[in-house]
């Protein structure tokens, strides 16, 4: 079964499909969009494939990563569009789910990204299947927590966390959920925070949240880090309030050849308009380049021929690194006119995502656009 989700007539649709877990047959929802080498994202705790596709908090991730890769992501068991009627949230079950999704998309060798609380799943998979993972990206991740001791600060914090989930997860108002939202994206606008408030409630039930959390805080894959053979890029916000930066240091120093890129942000989920997001994309793009050497196919001649002279002129300016305002001033056009020409040109060329557009236009210029 395939579902299509799009936010507008000119936006490429993601394909939502379903498969069954190897472990217990749980139904898993996964989505595919974009063009390029395959990048599989090992879920990210709170997710809902349809909600995230429209979210102002996640859409830039999807646009920009989908602009340089064939992006595969999925809702973990008990969350989003995947089966909620499950009881096993163990690491082994999560890795079996990832294996099922990878088989379903017919990925032989691919890049793997572990985000947030699902980094241990990506690490465990990479350790078990080194022949399939071409490179590993860890963002806002961790490998394990020391077990809590009675009456320790960690233990008391966890008890408070669970109490808030029980009291407020399913409430129609976001009073308790906003505590978690502020931890994830302290630099967000009110609209962005409301989207994450809503995501929490619609992503899973109170019971599933508590069960998944209980397994997650017991997970420890530190012993596997020295077994990772894939080139590994570790990205982490210095001021991350959800997962402390110290976990990134452990990952980068324990994985052979691991490289750490600190991001100047306090947001666990990077926002589109902060400088750290541009750093993130530049690093990921460069890191993925060996997998992209075959290159994204250039738009065919018929697409290029459909461009008007004005569209070509504006594309040349854009490829030179000029912003829309500069282009408008130089060509004596309104900003809206420049934006309309660029939008039409990208639609004709069939390219989406800011990073993909820049790269594709630069290549077209080298080919004589």
**What CATH number is given to the structural domain containing 37?**
3.40.50.1820
- CA–chain centroid gap for 335, Å, is 31
pLDDT confidence of residue 224: 97
In this predicted structure, the answer to whether residue 76 has a pLDDT above a threshold of 80 is: yes
For the chain, percent of residues with pLDDT exceeding 90: 62
Same domain, residue pair 271 and 342: no
Same domain, residue pair 138 and 262: yes
Whether 9 is covered by a domain: the verdict is yes
Same domain, residue pair 354 and 244: no
Residue 327 or 238, more confident: 238
The two structure tokens encoding residue 10 = 């000119």
In this predicted structure, the answer to whether residue 348 has a pLDDT above a threshold of 60 is: yes
Whether 171 is covered by a domain: the verdict is no
Same domain, residue pair 59 and 133: yes
pLDDT confidence of residue 60: 96
Mean pLDDT score, 351-365? 58
pLDDT confidence of residue 264: 97
For the chain, percent of residues with pLDDT exceeding 70: 84
State how far the Cα of 291 lies from the Cα of 135, in Å rounded to an integer. 9
Q: Biggest alpha carbon distance in the chain?
A: 71
Mean pLDDT score, 138-142? 96
Same domain, residue pair 66 and 113: yes
Same domain, residue pair 31 and 96: yes
Whether 178 is covered by a domain: the verdict is no
In this predicted structure, the answer to whether residue 347 has a pLDDT above a threshold of 60 is: yes
pLDDT confidence of residue 320: 61
Whether 323 is covered by a domain: the verdict is yes
Summarised one tens digit per residue, pLDDT across range 295-312 is: 445 566 777 888 899 998
Whether 209 is covered by a domain: the verdict is no
Same domain, residue pair 243 and 348: no
Domain that holds residue 261: 2-147+219-292
Same domain, residue pair 111 and 32: yes
Domain-ending residue, one of 244, 272, 292: 292
Summarised one tens digit per residue, pLDDT across range 54-67 is: 999 999 999 999 99
Q: How many domains, the chain?
A: 2
Mean pLDDT score, 269-274? 96
For the chain, give the mean pLDDT: 87
Summarised one tens digit per residue, pLDDT across range 77-114 is: 999 999 999 999 999 999 999 999 999 998 889 999 99
Same domain, residue pair 13 and 142: yes
- Residue 139, strand partner residues: 115, 235
pLDDT confidence of residue 108: 87
- CA–chain centroid gap for 293, Å, is 22
pLDDT confidence of residue 158: 78
pLDDT confidence of residue 10: 44
Summarised one tens digit per residue, pLDDT across range 211-260 is: 999 998 889 999 999 999 999 999 999 999 999 999 999 999 999 999 99
pLDDT confidence of residue 358: 56
**What CATH number is given to the structural domain containing 329?**
1.10.10.10
Domain-ending residue, one of 292, 326, 345: 292
Dihedral angle over CA of 170, 174, 177, 183, nearest 10: 160
The two structure tokens encoding residue 257 = 């050849």
Same domain, residue pair 139 and 11: yes
In this predicted structure, the answer to whether residue 147 has a pLDDT above a threshold of 90 is: no
Same domain, residue pair 357 and 229: no
Same domain, residue pair 126 and 226: yes
In this predicted structure, the answer to whether residue 29 has a pLDDT above a threshold of 80 is: yes
Residue 84 or 316, more confident: 84
State how far the Cα of 187 lies from the Cα of 338, in Å rounded to an integer. 30
> pLDDT class for 268, splitting at 50, 70, 90?
very high
Whether 78 is covered by a domain: the verdict is yes
HEC readout, 122-181: HHHHHHHCCCCEEEEEEECCCCECCCCCCCCHHHHHHHHHHHHHHHHCCCCCCCCHHHHH
Summarised one tens digit per residue, pLDDT across range 152-188 is: 566 667 788 889 899 888 888 988 899 999 999 999 9
Whether 152 is covered by a domain: the verdict is no
């Amino acid at each position: 079964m395939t579902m299509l989700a799009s936010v507008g007539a000119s936006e490429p649709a993601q394909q939502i499909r379903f498969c069954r877990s190897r472990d217990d047959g749980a139904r898993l929802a996964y989505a595919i969009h974009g063009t390029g080498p395959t990048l599989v994202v090992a879920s990210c705790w709170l997710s809902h494939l349809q909600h995230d596709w429209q979210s102002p908090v996640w859409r830039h991730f999807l646009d920009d990563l989908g602009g340089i890769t064939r992006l595969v992501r999925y809702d973990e068991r008990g969350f989003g569009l995947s089966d909620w009627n499950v009881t096993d949230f163990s690491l082994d079950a999560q890795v079996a789910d990832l294996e099922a999704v990878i088989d379903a998309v017919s990925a032989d060798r691919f890049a793997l990204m572990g985000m947030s609380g699902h980094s241990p799943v990506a690490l465990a998979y990479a350790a078990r299947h080194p022949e399939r993972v071409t490179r590993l990206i860890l963002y806002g991740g961790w490998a394990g927590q020391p077990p809590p001791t009675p009456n320790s600060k960690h233990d008391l914090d966890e008890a408070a966390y669970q109490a808030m989930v029980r009291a407020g997860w399913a409430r129609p108002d976001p009073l308790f959920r906003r505590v978690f939202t502020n931890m994830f994206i302290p630099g967000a606008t009110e609209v962005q925070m409301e989207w994450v408030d809503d995501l929490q409630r619609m992503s899973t039930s109170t019971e599933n949240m508590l069960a998944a959390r209980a397994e997650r805080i017991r997970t420890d894959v530190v012993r596997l880090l020295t077994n990772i053979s894939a080139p590994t890029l570790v990205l982490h916000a210095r001021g991350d309030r959800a997962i402390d930066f110290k976990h990134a240091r452990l990952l980068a120093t324990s994985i052979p050849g691991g490289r750490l890129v600190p991001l100047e942000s306090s947001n666990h989920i990077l926002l589109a308009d902060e400088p750290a997001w541009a750093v993130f994309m530049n690093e990921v793009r460069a890191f993925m380049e060996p997998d992209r050497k075959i290159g994204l196919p250039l738009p065919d001649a018929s697409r290029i021929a459909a461009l008007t002279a004005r569209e070509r002129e504006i594309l040349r300016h854009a490829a030179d690194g000029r912003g829309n305002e500069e282009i408008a001033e130089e060509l004596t056009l309104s900003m809206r006119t420049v934006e309309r020409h660029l939008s039409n040109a990208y639609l004709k060329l069939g390219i989406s995502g800011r990073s993909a557009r820049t790269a594709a236009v630069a290549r077209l210029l080298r080919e004589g656009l």
